[in-house]
Structure 1
């Protein structure tokens, strides 16, 4: 899943980017308001959550949020800010934000709020199943037949994306957009490496792979019969 983080304090943005990537998110970062707004508007359908600092060079988080809401009422927006009055919180929410977190904050709290907003956006819970395979987003665990399966961050993110889109063909470019960030060079052949890794770890040895290859297009996990 893909997140846009607009934060001008390098120490905070690096900390959040590293933490969110460890949880399997693809994270795009902007350090000023104008770049953040441009990224948001260019990729509104791709971002699952947008995290905004309030005070930014070039354009405030409030202005960014208002411009986003002119184009989309779906993508969740979270404010991070040192402004700590009730009036500030109300002002941010009235500008279109879904949530408001005061600095300093605990990373686990931010992560929990992101997941709640994403569940609300998708209308889905945090557990995805395919036959004996279970992926739990909140605990960041995958199991098969009640046995834990160790996946890398990108393997987990790719499996989550395919399970969220079960029954649909996931095109290679779409996978890159949702699982990797904007700095990726768009060499889609890397997807094959991760698909093969998932197959080795999760396929039944004597049956066809649970991930179907759609030649020239992408991949699909079919709905269970």
Structure 2
């Protein structure tokens, strides 16, 4: 393991699970930092001795819970990728984590290989965003979608508006891509749950509404009277680039 290996923060209070994660992450070549208490974890993440490349974050912790931790990080403009570890039987945890700003989630108990694949995916996406093009290569064509004087940059996870640039989580970007790819079509809440967020359990789909409210603040001139991201009563939503 080298000093240049990515640093992964593990926030988990179950000692046997935490030790297993630390051992396997180190075996994969990562450096690790462990916190078992939510209050201590939040304090460290807000002012780390070294910025981690990603955070593996349990939902339920002594002290500050995982949802509050990720929400506080986003409010502090800290966009370190967060992989949320959730209880298998609680799909509402998944929606709450997505709404708080998590980039991905994994239900417990999980397969270690799946966790490592998800982690590598988050790190790879971050690397793509930070890597400048080689001097002898033409600049890459942005993976972008433009409408209403706004541009969604899927490659850099940004929504660029005339007055501000908003950083997006992977979950926010994935939902915006899902909607813009189906411009003009009605998209059901069930489709969003299953095809974007991989939630297949019976879930109160109205929980998505709060997430949609936040997206409207990003893309609408007047979020209280939306023209682009419309609610289709009893079904779901429809995105219109040119209403």
Q: Give the TM-score of the pair, scaled to structure 1.
A: 0.52
1:23 to 2:28 alignment: yes
Structure 1 unaligned residues grouped into runs of 5+: 126-225
Partner of 2:86: 81
Picking from 112, 120, 124, the partner of 2:125 is 120
Distance 1:48-1:101 versus aligned 2 partners, 3 A rule: same
Distance in 2 (alpha carbons) for counterparts of 1:56 and 1:37? 11
Q: Give the TM-score of the pair, scaled to structure 2.
A: 0.49
Distance in 2 (alpha carbons) for counterparts of 1:5 and 1:20? 10
Partner of 2:38: 33
Q: Name the count of aligned residue pairs.
A: 125
Distance in 2 (alpha carbons) for counterparts of 1:119 and 1:44? 23
Structure 2 unaligned residues grouped into runs of 5+: 1-5, 131-243
Partner of 2:104: 99
Picking from 95, 114, 117, the partner of 1:109 is 114
User: How far does the alpha carbon of each residue in 1:144-181 deviate from its partner, in whole angstroms, 9 at most, with x for none?
Assistant: xxxxxxxxxxxxxxxxxxxxxxxxxxxxxxxxxxxxxx
1:54-73 paired onto structure 2 within 5 Å: 54-73=59-78
Picking from 11, 17, 28, the partner of 2:16 is 11
Say if 1:53 and 1:81, in contact at 8 Å, map to a contact too.
yes
Distance in 2 (alpha carbons) for counterparts of 1:61 and 1:44? 20
Say if 1:41 and 1:68, in contact at 8 Å, map to a contact too.
yes
3-state SS of 1:81 partner: strand
Say if 2:86 and 2:94, in contact at 8 Å, map to a contact too.
no
The Cα RMSD (Å) is: 1.9
Distance 1:84-1:73 versus aligned 2 partners, 3 A rule: farther
Distance in 2 (alpha carbons) for counterparts of 1:61 and 1:88? 10
State the shift of 1:121 in Å: 1.1
User: How far does the alpha carbon of each residue in 1:90-116 deviate from its partner, in whole angstroms, 9 at most, with x for none?
Assistant: 111110100111100011111110110
